[in-house]
Amino acid sequence: FFGNIVGSVVTDLGMVVGITAFISPISLSIQLALLPTFFLLALVFIVFGVAWKQQKMNYAVATFLILAYIIFLLLAFNNPLLA
């Protein structure tokens, strides 16, 4: 089950970055990737923890994930590296 998810994410990410770099060279910086990487890892651990312990999502977890996404968007759009 998780192999399909991980494989799909890796393939999608590879295709998007590969096609983008093929069309126009892109520059990446570690500072730009820190915020999304932190949020991605934190939310992955939270979702896996909930799935492992509860075997289902409830309204509290769903609300937390939506609020975390909104916080991520606010932080990402206020990041001076993206301006």
Which tens digits make up the pLDDT trace of 21-65? 899 888 777 777 787 888 888 888 888 888 788 777 788 888 988
Residues 6+ apart with CB under 8 A from 14: none
Q: What is the pTM of this model?
A: 0.58
Q: What is the pLDDT of residue 23?
A: 92
Q: What is the pLDDT of residue 1?
A: 53
Q: For CA atoms 30, 36, 39, 41, give the dihedral sign.
A: negative
Q: What is the pLDDT of residue 67?
A: 92
The total number of residues written for the chain in this structure: 83
